[in-house]
Amino acid sequence: MSPTVRTACHDDYDDVVDLTSDVWPDRAMADYIPDVFRDWVEADGPDRKTLVVDVDGRAVGLCQAVMLTDTEAWFQGMRVDSDYRGRGFGSLLTERLIDWAADAGASVGRNMVFSWNEAGLGQSLAAGFEPATSFRWAYPEPRDKAPEMSVENDPATAWRYWRESDGRAALAGLALDSNESWALSTLTRERLDRLATDQTVLTIGGDEPQGMACRVRTTESDGERLAEYAVGVWSDVDAARALFSAIAADAAALGVDSTRVLIPETPRHVAQAAYAGGTIGECPDFVFEIGGLGSR
């Protein structure tokens, strides 16, 4: 057996279906990779690279890297066939993609791992990544009810609040990326300006802001429409209630069926979101980071 790392191709589809069939055997959830793999292959180019580990003509490992910004790379879809785990194939894929990202201009790379995914946590550390931050999803139900604080679409005020918030510090400045569904990238003033025009940026509290959120997109799957918010941060429980009400009203105006809002994984944010906003995710997600790519 001589493993080879190569670019993924459409002929690998059946192998990818096989190697993702038992990724989380103790979890009642299907892997999303088979649904997106063909799109990944089609989209490969200067800003995106999908690699497989090939053993005797069979793809037994998979991973993709995406350039989210000029300097930020995102690594996703790390999978290794259960019969080939423990042989370093995951690290081999990651090393090749780190080199690719560095050549593409990245100075930092990140990935996301479910907090319950022990194998994925270990793989990230083995590949040289370090813990960067953690987050959780909140799911306020769309409803047309006015919040108890004033609401504006104001990127300047949102940036002022975000820049000084403890939520930004907890999230290491990261928020849900505008283009890649499960990726996080740095939230900048320029991106807030774009979102205020293309989507919406919500601030509450007027001239003395008490919280902010920003919508990045709406998506549709199996007939269900979802509004996604890159981040939500606030000052106290009253502000949390007002912010989640503003998000719920924004979602209702869009006519979507559900929402998801990325929030910091801190005791205060999680407790207040549960109290003021309703449903939250059962477990956090962890973001790992590897720096110094440009010096490699």
Radius of gyration for the chain, computed over Cα atoms and rounded to the nearest angstrom: 20
Q: Does residue 182 sit in the same domain as residue 205?
A: yes
CA dihedral 255, 259, 262, 268 (to 10 degrees): 110
Domain hosting residue 108, numbered range: 4-134+287-295
pLDDT value at residue 118: 84
Q: Does residue 159 sit in the same domain as residue 250?
A: yes
Q: What is the pTM of this model?
A: 0.93
Q: Does residue 82 sit in the same domain as residue 170?
A: no
Q: Does residue 129 sit in the same domain as residue 205?
A: no
Q: Is the dihedral of CA 100, 102, 105, 109 positive or negative?
A: positive
Q: Does residue 16 sit in the same domain as residue 75?
A: yes
Domain count, the chain: 2
Q: Does residue 49 sit in the same domain as residue 97?
A: yes
Q: Does residue 180 sit in the same domain as residue 231?
A: yes
pLDDT value at residue 29: 61
Residues 6+ apart with CB under 8 A from 283: 114, 115, 116, 136
Q: Does residue 265 sit in the same domain as residue 149?
A: yes
pLDDT value at residue 22: 74
Q: Does residue 119 sit in the same domain as residue 146?
A: no
The CB-based long-range contact list for 63-67 (8 Å cut-off, 24+ gap) reads: 63/90, 63/93, 63/94, 63/97, 64/40, 64/97, 65/97, 65/98, 65/100, 65/101, 65/109, 66/180, 66/183, 67/101, 67/104, 67/105, 67/106
Q: Does residue 151 sit in the same domain as residue 267?
A: yes
d(C-alpha 37, C-alpha 9), whole Å: 9
pLDDT value at residue 147: 80
Per-residue pLDDT of the chain (296 residues; tens, 9 = 90+): 688 999 999 999 999 999 888 766 565 567 788 889 999 999 999 999 999 999 999 999 999 999 999 999 999 998 888 887 888 888 899 999 999 999 999 999 999 999 988 888 888 888 889 999 999 999 999 998 878 788 899 999 999 999 999 999 999 999 999 999 889 999 999 999 999 999 999 999 988 899 999 999 999 988 899 999 999 999 999 999 999 999 999 999 999 999 999 999 999 999 999 999 779 999 999 999 999 886 66
pLDDT value at residue 123: 85
pLDDT value at residue 169: 97
CATH number at residue 66: 3.40.630.30
